[in-house]
Amino acid sequence: MTDQRDPHAIAALLAADRRHAWHPYASALNPPPVYPVASARGVRLQLADGRELLDGMSSWWAAIHGYNHPVLNRAVSAQLGRMSHMMFGGLTNEPAVELCALLAAITPGELERVFLCDSGSVAVEVAIKMALQYWQARGQPGRNRLLTLAGGYHGDTFMAMSVCDPVTGMHHLFRDVLPRQLFAPRPGCGFGQPARAADIAAFEALLAQHRDAIAAVILEPIVQGAGGMHFYSADYLRRVRALCDAHGVLLIADEIATGFGRTGKLFACEHAGIAPDILCLGKALTGGYLSLAATLTSGHVAGIVCSGEAGALMHGPTFMGNPLACAVALASTRLLLSQPWQREIARLEAALRAGLAPAALLPGVREVRVLGAIGVIEMEQEVAMGPITERFLAEGVWIRPFGRLVYTMPPFIMRNDEVARLTHGMIAALEKYLSHPAGEEAR
């Protein structure tokens, strides 16, 4: 095997990447820099050129146990020895069944039916299909719109894009071809605050006005992730649940980013003490090892869906119930539940608060906020990805900002001294970037 630290090998890899690989949200005509990773272990990424980085992103929030975890490695190896894949149509497998039973047991409410799928975006698509088929089966096909919150993000497939923020979201280019959904203002009441009548009045008015056209409300509970890392009131979420009940509307909770402990509760809905009718999970489900997601619903909703014309939920991914992915998801979830994860998240929250607090004094910083294992520095202006990334690399940390947000969602296993190094590196890089935004050094 070629030594990946050889400069010629690295250059050849990057040339092939530049020519053939199309990275997320990146131009194929003028690709931004990418950095080859040779290996990863614990909370560190080893670049091919020998540099080591503390990972502040958990690989887009998925690798909650870090990398190369022996428990998860063993689960993958053991399952590989039996079978890596089999179709889920007409067949079943033990890891998939056990995972479905475990998810049904640990999620809020009575979400006893689990539909396994490929990714978070697909989980949202499946949830929306469930809601639409539910109302078709009840003889109300006109209930085919969704009510959601401004500032949200639910994925990159078409129905998922339709409920992402239509103004500040990533998908405005598709505005003319997406279904027209209903958007209530982003909650103005922050986490830990009560929701006043004025905070939810617009949502309530939209729900009342369009109740006969609304199939479901869909939202990210407590934390709006890629739409702005906005933390909002648990009381607001309680009121949404009550309004959905009052108007006979389904509630879909998108916990793809917040599920499995990230906010300090196993699922963010638990901050409000509510359960949705449909729940979407993904990201941390497999601990970052393989792509897998799940959409859960109650026996009542599943029964109504399957009493309709089709007699089934009309979706069926090729890799649904993949035993390799399900085996590692089982291992990851059991590993999380076997540990004092609440204490660890509280520890991370305290370490992030202490480490990021000095950022509030930097010029151009609008707000610093922390919830669970989520730390956010919100800027007044958007940051330039290329120059600021180089600053992070120079500090030995891997941070991937977007828009005005410089944020971290570290693996749950990151120690306090590592969090201190991570946050110090974030602030030092941000200071240098603010002094020289284009990346040039003062002479």
Name the domain boundary from 285, 312, 337.
Answer: 337
Bridge partners of 253, per DSSP, are: 219, 279
Report if residue 26 sits inside a domain: no
Report if residue 39 sits inside a domain: yes
Instruction: Kindly report, residue by residue over 174-230, the tens digit of the pLDDT.
Output: 988 999 999 999 999 999 999 999 999 999 999 999 999 999 999 999 999 999 999
pLDDT recorded at residue 443:
30
Report if residue 9 sits inside a domain: no
pLDDT recorded at residue 2:
42
Average pLDDT score over the chain: 96
Q: Which of 146, 121, 112, 140 is closest to 217 using CA atoms?
A: 146
- 153: number of Cβ within 10 Å: 24
Q: pTM above 0.85?
A: yes
For residue 375, give the CATH number of its domain. 3.90.1150.10
- 339: number of Cβ within 10 Å: 14
- Same domain as 359, residue 232: no
Report if residue 399 sits inside a domain: yes
pLDDT greater at residue 170 or residue 92: 92
Instruction: Kindly report, residue by residue over 64-92, the tens digit of the pLDDT.
Output: 999 999 999 999 999 999 999 999 999 99
- Tell me the CB-side half-sphere exposure of residue 45, using CA atoms within 13 A: 21
Instruction: Kindly report, residue by residue over 261-288, the tens digit of the pLDDT.
Output: 999 999 999 999 999 999 999 999 999 9
3-state secondary structure 302-313: HHHHHCCCCCCC
Parent domain of 389 = 35-68+340-435
pLDDT band for position 442 (cuts 50, 70, 90)? very low
- Same domain as 375, residue 331: no
- Same domain as 191, residue 163: yes
Report if residue 25 sits inside a domain: no
- Same domain as 410, residue 300: no
State how beta strands 52-55 and 397-398 pair.
parallel
- Same domain as 348, residue 316: no
Name the domain boundary from 337, 358, 383.
Answer: 337
For the chain, percent of residues with pLDDT exceeding 70 = 98
Q: Is 283 a catalytic residue?
A: yes
pLDDT recorded at residue 440:
53
- Same domain as 418, residue 321: no
Report if residue 18 sits inside a domain: no
Q: Is 232 a catalytic residue?
A: no
For residue 99, give the CATH number of its domain. 3.40.640.10
Instruction: Kindly report, residue by residue over 406-420, the tens digit of the pLDDT.
Output: 999 999 999 999 999
* 169, pLDDT greater than 80: no
Looking at 55, 118, 199, 254, which residue is catalytic?
Answer: 254
Residue-by-residue DSSP string for 60-115: HHT-TT-BS-HHHHHHHHHHHTT-S----SS---HHHHHHHHHHHHHSSSS--EEE
- Same domain as 262, residue 129: yes
Amino acid in the structure at residue 19: R
- Same domain as 96, residue 226: yes
CA angle 128, 131, 136 (to 5 degrees): 125
pLDDT recorded at residue 1:
33
* 41, pLDDT greater than 50: yes
Report if residue 3 sits inside a domain: no
CA pair distance 336, 385, nearest whole angstrom? 33
Report if residue 407 sits inside a domain: yes
Whether 134 contacts 304, CB under 8 Å: yes
* Domains held by the chain: number: 2
pLDDT recorded at residue 183:
97
Instruction: Kindly report, residue by residue over 317-328, the tens digit of the pLDDT.
Output: 999 999 999 999
Q: Residue 416 is inside which H or E element, if any?
A: helix 416-435
Whether 181 contacts 148, CB under 8 Å: yes
- Same domain as 373, residue 274: no
Instruction: Kindly report, residue by residue over 151-162, the tens digit of the pLDDT.
Output: 999 999 999 999
Which residues fall within 8 angstroms of residue 118, CB to CB, at 6 or more apart? 291, 292, 293, 317, 319, 320
* 441, pLDDT greater than 80: no
- Same domain as 324, residue 269: yes
- Same domain as 233, residue 333: yes
Residue-by-residue DSSP string for 159-190: HHHHTS-TTTSTTGGGTTTS---EEEPPP-SB
Looking at 134, 232, 265, 283, which residue is catalytic?
Answer: 283
Q: Is 153 a catalytic residue?
A: yes
Looking at 55, 67, 118, 153, which residue is catalytic?
Answer: 153
Name the domain boundary from 322, 337, 352.
Answer: 337
- H-type alpha helices, 275-377: 299-306, 323-337, 341-356
- Same domain as 260, residue 190: yes
CA pair distance 175, 167, nearest whole angstrom? 9
Interhelix angle for 120-137 vs 299-306, to 10°? 60
pLDDT recorded at residue 172:
81
